[in-house]
Structure 1
Amino acid sequence: MTDWYYDENGAQRGPVSEGDLNTMLVNRLLSPHTLVWTATLGSGWKPASQTHLEAAPQAVKPPPLPSAKNVPPPLPATINPSLPHQLAGVAASTGEPPSDFHPERVPAHDHYAKWMAFWPLLLMVVDMVLAADGNNIEYGPYSRVAPFLAVWGSLIFAVLDARNVYNSWRNPKRMALVPFILLSPLVYFWRRAWLLKTGYAYMGIWAGCALVYAIAFAVMAQS
């Protein structure tokens, strides 16, 4: 008596007799495309329509007990539609990036964040150079140079820093970071520290540098 196995929604069923399997196929309980296996098929599963099955129903006979000699090979790998959601759930519980998170992996660094934190000091140097050349940094023709550099420099560094945070797999949930620079670098650094679960050192550095710049600007404007 030949033992048969068949696939049911990705699960292996059987063993059943050939007569039982034919009965299920003829009565449309199984599709002709159902994967089946028996010892004569070797190591590969085949659709029932590619075998000698689907004949007239035979007498129903009880299937034999499983035999250790005829152990079917594993079913071919199939895609489970719920698998991405399951992997995402596992990723959330383990802290690893989800399976669909595939940016270009780059080394993590804080170079752009450091430039942004010390940017007020560089703006102070710019104003000092302009003031040394006899320009009025408050109302003169070059008074808008420092504000222009402050806005665009901070924005560029924020974009580059946020890109590194994302590509270095430190932001797998794709949480917003760049828009916070539109409020101020101080808010951006707060958001960055909260997102990366790091300290608030860059907030303190930027605030200190901004204070130094404000004092220096007041002194240069009065002179």
Structure 2
Amino acid sequence: MADWYYEENGTQRGPLSEGDLNAMLVNDLLPPNTLVWTASIGSAWKPASQTHLEAAPQPVGPPPLPQTGVVSPPLPAAHRSALLQNAAGGASTSFNEWPNTSRPERVPAHDDYAKWLAFTPLLGLAVEFILAAGGNGVENGRFDWILSAFFLLANSIFAALDSRNVYRSWRNPKGKALGPFIFLTPIAYFWRRARITGSSFDYLWIWVACAVAYLIGFVIMAPDA
């Protein structure tokens, strides 16, 4: 078996067998770039990693850096919808929960119309006060139809706009009926709204408080019996 030589700190070491040299390389006693020589490799010394030594490990560099500018594939529709819902602070609703594939374009959720509906009794009290100031108060009843029409229109308009926003802001994923409940009184509407959106019954209690205030104001403006 051919004799091998290796270089260590500028000094020639050897001869030793190929097996012994391999053992030193395997056990990290010599680095892979150690200069070695044997008659079969010619007249020049070579790093061990560039010879046929079986145990001479090839130098391993770091893995390549991740490529930049690579666009990730889009999320599945259901996951994308869930992320949007969480970011908006609304109920967790996926696309698959909608009753059909024709889904409305999502709009920002707000309760502005619900607030107006909750305070409608106070608006009605203001109308009653204006009528009374013009001499057309509750004592003659000639303009009762104005107050009735006001409540009907105000309740219908605010409930329609609010139920539309609830649906288009994806807070009514199953498209349950909401607007028509206004005709069962605002109490029924707010109860239904809270059940659909998973929100509190605050607007229902606000409406009740305003309705009580309206009744008190109506009694105060009524003529003495």
TM-score where L is the length of structure 1: 0.56
- CA deviations over 1:102-147 (Å, ceiling 9, x no partner): 2021100000000000010011011011111111325432122111
Amino acid at match of 2:217: A
Q: Which residue of 2 aligns with 1:97?
A: 95
Q: 1:96 to 1:122 in 2, by over 3 A?
A: same
Residues 1:122 and 2:158 are matched in the alignment: no
Distance (Å, rounded) in 2 between the aligned partners of 1:154 and 1:138: 25
Name the SS for the 1:222 alignment partner: coil
Contact 1:101 1:172 in 2 (8 A): no
**Number of paired residues?**
134
Amino acid at match of 1:136: G
Q: Which residue of 2 aligns with 1:190?
A: 191
Q: Which residue of 1 aligns with 2:174?
A: 173
Contact 2:139 2:223 in 1 (8 A): no
Contact 1:117 1:206 in 2 (8 A): yes
Name the SS for the 1:195 alignment partner: helix
Following superposition, the deviation at residue 97 of structure 1 comes to: 3.0
Gaps of 5+ in 1: 1-86
- CA deviations over 1:77-118 (Å, ceiling 9, x no partner): xxxxxxxxxx8xxx9xx7313272520211000000000000
Distance (Å, rounded) in 1 between the aligned partners of 2:145 and 2:131: 11
Distance (Å, rounded) in 1 between the aligned partners of 2:95 and 2:222: 51
Moved more, 213-222 or 203-212: 213-222
Amino acid at match of 2:95: P
Matches within 5 A, 1:43-62: none
> Which of these two proteins has the greater Rg computed from alpha carbons?
2
Q: Which residue of 2 aligns with 1:141?
A: 142
Q: Which residue of 1 aligns with 2:152?
A: 151
Amino acid at match of 2:124: L
Q: Which residue of 2 aligns with 1:161?
A: 162
Q: Which residue of 2 aligns with 1:58?
A: none
Q: 1:220 to 1:199 in 2, by over 3 A?
A: same
Distance (Å, rounded) in 1 between the aligned partners of 2:159 and 2:95: 23
Distance (Å, rounded) in 2 between the aligned partners of 1:112 and 1:167: 14
Amino acid at match of 2:94: E
Q: Which residue of 2 aligns with 1:219?
A: 220
Name the SS for the 1:128 alignment partner: helix
Amino acid at match of 1:176: A
Q: Kindly report the root-mean-square deviation, in angstroms, between the aligned alpha carbons of the 2 structures.
A: 2.2
